[in-house]
């Protein structure tokens, strides 16, 4: 949009290059699953921001709750709690399954991951001494951009800045059923052995419930074996639900698809559909290990964010948005599979509910085709369907993640655009 150029130019001048790389859409306002700029353009949102707006954009219920909270009291910190913080941790603990009955609030997903790493190692030390400190995670995983989160991540290029990697972080193949040939649990124990890691030295296994870069889920049998393995070796199983939580996958919690419950679950993004807040939920015996006053963070449980999270959760539950994600997801994935049958540029369709990953490849191979994926996103955005830039391996996965309030008509409208774009780009 030419009118947006002066804004983009200012951003380019004053922000670091690292902030670039997205379609040039300057948001003015958004509502439900629609996004508008200031010049009369509108898009069906297939991004939810970055998987934030689970309950929809600018829901009046969330806005009202934030405004009410702001006009009653705006400032607080972790030292002096608010009633809304108490209500939020209580509500989350009530809706989460046992044993996830204590909740620690933070601000970002990365911070929740850092906290989980610290809890795993504290737990490990309490059980096995200094050696029980290894954090096992997965190839191609993304857990955020802070130091520990990136060491636990499985994308080597993102770790280049670190220089000196902690050998206590070990990655094993993610069983994606596409690039990883063997998706059986034997791959997990073999990879540990190959890395010289004894099971008794593992403090925790950290896993995105589905991999954000591809939207791939692991096979349920794999996860059930992993759950048993963690219990047997007294290692904590941590599900990073920063993307998967709060209905996104067609279930309230992503781990429900596997029939397991982790020892710790990490939330962010869609927890509030709006303001920045994250949470570590877990076994009380684990969360209570660090002493009083030892896990502080200034904005922990900020009342504005708590009010937003409470209002968002109420909408997710009352409107059964997980159920809507399941129903709309069936339509979405059905159509995407039909596209895959027609277009050899689609190597894999992954995801569940209202998250899908369309892996673009060079026809006939599994090699990622980032240029093709980028063209798909660009052409969709030009035609009124908003997506962020391609993600994942080779930057070749087109990610579809609309707000969970989207209805069939809008979903089909977007899919018609996507189909037209594939026809155009493959001819």
Q: Which residues bind ligand PMP (CB under 6 A)?
A: 108-110, 113, 142-144, 208, 212, 240, 242-243, 268
Return the number of the residue (53 or 417) whose C-beta is nearest ligand PMP.
53
Return the number of the residue (124 or 144) whose C-beta is nearest ligand PMP.
144
CB of 340 to ligand PMP, least distance (A): 24
Place of tokens 């559909």: 273
Distance (Å, rounded) from C-alpha 285 to C-alpha 268? 22
User: Residue 104 belongs to what H/E stretch?
Assistant: strand 102-106
For the CA atoms of 206, 210, 213, 215, the dihedral, rounded to the nearest 10 degrees, stands at 170
Return the number of the residue (19 or 198) whose C-beta is nearest ligand PMP.
19
At residue 334, what are phi and psi to the nearest 5 degrees?
A: -60, -45
CB of 67 to ligand PMP, least distance (A): 24
CA-based nearest residue to 402, from 307, 297, 332, 343: 332
Return the number of the residue (123 or 142) whose C-beta is nearest ligand PMP.
142
Q: How is 236-305 classified by DSSP, letter by letter?
A: EEEEE-TTTTTTTTSSSSGGGGGT---SEEEE-GGGTSSS--EEEEE-HHHHTSSPTTSS--TTTT-HHH
- The 3-state secondary structure of 269-286, one letter per residue: HHHCCCCCCEEEEECHHH
Q: For the purposes of burial, counting CB atoms within 10 Å of the CB of 1, is it exposed (0-12), middle (13-18) or buried (19 or more)?
A: middle
CA-based nearest residue to 154, from 168, 174, 134: 174
Return the number of the residue (155 or 339) whose C-beta is nearest ligand PMP.
155
**Plot region of 275 (φ>0 → left; ψ -120 to 50 → alpha; else → beta):** beta
CB of 154 to ligand PMP, least distance (A): 12
Distance (Å, rounded) from C-alpha 170 to C-alpha 300? 30
CB of 277 to ligand PMP, least distance (A): 10
Distance (Å, rounded) from C-alpha 226 to C-alpha 232? 10
Please give the residue whose beta carbon sits closest to ligand PMP in the complex: 109
Return the number of the residue (223 or 410) whose C-beta is nearest ligand PMP.
223
Return the number of the residue (110 or 151) whose C-beta is nearest ligand PMP.
110
CB of 312 to ligand PMP, least distance (A): 15
CA-based nearest residue to 136, from 180, 192, 212: 192
User: What sign does the dihedral 260-265-268-271 (CA atoms) show?
Assistant: positive
Task: Kindly report the number of other CB atoms within 10 A of residue 19's CB atom.
Answer: 10
Return the number of the residue (34 or 110) whose C-beta is nearest ligand PMP.
110
Place of tokens 């890395």: 195
Side by side, which strands form the sheet with 346-350? 346-350, 356-360, 397-400
CB of 1 to ligand PMP, least distance (A): 26
Return the number of the residue (69 or 211) whose C-beta is nearest ligand PMP.
211
Contact assessment for residue 66 and residue 302, using Cβ atoms and an 8 Å cutoff: no
CB of 112 to ligand PMP, least distance (A): 7
For the CA atoms of 30, 35, 38, 41, the dihedral, rounded to the nearest 10 degrees, stands at -150
CB of 107 to ligand PMP, least distance (A): 8
CB of 144 to ligand PMP, least distance (A): 3
Return the number of the residue (267 or 422) whose C-beta is nearest ligand PMP.
267
Return the number of the residue (110 or 273) whose C-beta is nearest ligand PMP.
110
CB of 208 to ligand PMP, least distance (A): 5
CB of 108 to ligand PMP, least distance (A): 4
Q: At CA 50, angle to CA 46 and CA 51, rounded to 5?
A: 70
């Amino acid at each position: 949009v030419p009118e947006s150029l002066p804004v983009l130019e200012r951003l380019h001048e004053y922000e670091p290059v690292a902030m670039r790389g997205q379609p040039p859409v300057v948001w003015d306002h958004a509502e439900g699953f629609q996004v508008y700029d200031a010049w009369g353009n509108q898009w069906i949102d297939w991004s939810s921001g970055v998987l934030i707006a689970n309950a929809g954009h600018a829901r009046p219920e969330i806005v009202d709750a934030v405004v009410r909270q702001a006009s009653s009291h705006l400032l607080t910190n972790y030292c002096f709690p608010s009633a809304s913080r108490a209500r939020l941790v209580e509500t989350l603990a009530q809706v989460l399954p046992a044993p996830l009955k204590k909740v620690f609030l933070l601000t970002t997903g990365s911070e929740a991951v850092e906290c989980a790493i610290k809890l795993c190692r504290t737990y490990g030390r309490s059980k096995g001494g200094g050696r029980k400190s290894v954090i096992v995670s997965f190839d191609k995983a993304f857990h955020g951009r802070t130091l520990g989160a990136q060491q636990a991540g499985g994308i080597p290029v993102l770790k280049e800045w670190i220089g000196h990697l902690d050998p206590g972080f070990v990655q094993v193949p993610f069983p994606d059923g596409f690039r990883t040939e063997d998706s059986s649990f034997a791959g997990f124990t073999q990879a540990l052995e190959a890395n010289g890691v004894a099971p008794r030295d593992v403090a925790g296994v950290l896993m995105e419930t589905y991999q954000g870069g591809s939207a791939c889920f692991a096979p349920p049998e794999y996860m059930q074996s992993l759950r048993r393995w963690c219990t047997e070796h007294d290692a904590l199983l941590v599900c990073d639900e920063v993307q998967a939580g709060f209905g996104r996958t067609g279930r309230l919690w992503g781990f429900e698809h596997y029939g397991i419950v982790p020892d710790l679950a990490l939330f962010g993004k869609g927890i509030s559909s709006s303001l920045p807040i994250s949470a570590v939920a877990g076994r009380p015996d684990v969360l209570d290990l660090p002493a009083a006053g030892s896990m502080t963070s200034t904005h922990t449980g900020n009342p504005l964010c708590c009010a937003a999270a409470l209002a968002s959760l109420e909408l997710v539950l009352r409107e059964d948005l997980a159920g809507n994600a399941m129903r709309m997801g069936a339509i979405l994935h059905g159509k995407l599979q039909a596209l895959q049958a027609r277009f050899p540029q689609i190597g894999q369709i992954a995801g569940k509910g209202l998250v899908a990953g369309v892996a673009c490849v060079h026809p006939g191979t599994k090699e990622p085709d980032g240029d093709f994926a980028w063209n798909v996103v660009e052409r969709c955005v030009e035609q009124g369907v908003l997506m962020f830039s391609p993600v994942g391996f080779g930057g070749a996965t087109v990610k579809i993640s609309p707000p969970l309030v989207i209805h069939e008509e809008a979903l089909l409208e977007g899919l018609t655009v996507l189909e037209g774009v594939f026809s155009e780009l493959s001819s």
